[in-house]
Amino acid sequence: MIRNAESRDCRRWRSWRVLRIALALRRSADEVILVNRTRARSDGIATDITYGAALGDLAMVRSAVMSDLADCSVVLLTAGVNEKAGGAMDRRDTEGRLRLLRANAGIFRDLVPRIVEAAPHAIILVVTDPPDPLTDLTRSLAGHDCVFGSGTFLDSLRFQTHLGRKLGVAASAVDAWVVGEHGTSSVFLWSSAQIAGGLVGGRFGNADQLKDQVEREVRQANINIIEGIGASQYGIGIASARIVEAILRDSKIVIPVSSWHSGFGVSLSMPSVIGASGIERTIRPDLSTAEEAALRASAHHIASAAAQLEH
């Protein structure tokens, strides 16, 4: 049986309840295993979802312990503190999600070796913020390269959504990417953003004003959501479920996720082909001179934060 697992710490925000539901409803896997530091919590969630699954055509969800991950194909790491709890809610703060790194790195140092011992052959998907430096840390702790992060997949979906609203079309009709850090230094690829094969840039009279507005809306989307409902949860839950599907179904979809790039010296997001082995290859997009410089700056921003863990 193909299975995937979500490993979770009770300090993580409630958004991953949505991830479990998305995995079950989309039938992203044949079985979803929940592991929590507090067994009663995972027991309750699994039982609750199971009653809905009685309607049929939903994935099996069950609560388990770490050793039960042995045959899992994918493990999702969602443990850690969130932006609200970690003090990363200031829109003017250039550090943003990176403020969560030190606290969440401590959790990962405890958690990752135990996951690898239980499921040495599983692909590990890092969803916890900040996913870029935590992907690097997870690679080091795991001792293998079958590790990547959710990265800027959700940022790109938000970019497409806000552009679609401006253009009066569905978000799915927009081809637009965000690369680099999942954070304040993310890079919007305006030079290649398209709709119906035509570049977006020439469709507006005041392109600079449009770009500033859209980027601000996308960068601050998480804070706006948290202020309203306490946690950014639904979008990332659905996006993570889609990544799991791509792996388990060997879909070969191309999405921007975070992985190690030797040319930058860090993990960051680039368009990547996702299949049965995880990231099968990355595709470097054509960048303008300004976008290339911004991507280098984003890599430096991630590296500077990761250097904190060495002290």
Residue 137 and residue 163 in one domain? no
What does the longest C-alpha to C-alpha distance in the chain come to?
59
pLDDT tens column, 98-110: 999 999 999 999 9
Domain C-terminal end among 110, 127, 149: 149
Same domain, 78 and 135: yes
DSSP string, 246-267: HHHTT--EEEEEEEEETTTTEE
**What separation in angstroms does the CA of 92 have from each of 15, 62, 88, 96, 216?**
24, 42, 10, 9, 11
Of 97, 287, 285, 107, whose CA–CA distance to 181 is shortest?
Answer: 97
pLDDT at 15: 45
Q: Are 11 and 36 in contact (CB under 8 A)?
A: no
Strands 194-195 and 198-199: antiparallel
Beta strands of the chain (E only): which ranges? 3-8, 31-36, 60-63, 74-77, 123-126, 147-149, 174-175, 178-179, 187-188, 194-195, 198-199, 253-261, 266-275, 278-282
Q: Distances from the Cα of 17 to the Cαs of 46, 167, 182, 211, in angstroms?
A: 10, 33, 21, 34
pLDDT at position 25: 64
Tell me the C-alpha distance between 39 and 64, whole Å.
Answer: 8
Please say which residue of 134, 149, 164 terminates a domain: 149
Pairing of strands 60-63, 31-36: parallel
Other C-beta atoms within 10 Å of 262: how many? 6
Asked whether residue 140 falls in the same domain as residue 161, the answer is no
Q: Has 182 been annotated as catalytic?
A: yes
pTM given for the model: 0.89
Pick the catalytic residue: 162, 182, 261, 311? 182
- Check whether residue 186 and residue 64 sit in a common domain: no
Of the residues 149, 184, 207, the one at which a domain ends: 149
123 and 45 share one domain: yes
**What does the pLDDT read at residue 56?**
74
Is the domain of 100 the same as that of 237? no
Q: Which amino acid is at 135?
A: T
pLDDT in tens, 206-216: 678 888 999 99
Give me the number of domains the chain comprises: 2
- Per DSSP, 185 falls in state T
Q: What is the CATH number for 127?
A: 3.40.50.720
Which structural domain, as residue segments, surrounds residue 204? Answer: 153-310
Residues of the chain with pLDDT under 50: 1-15
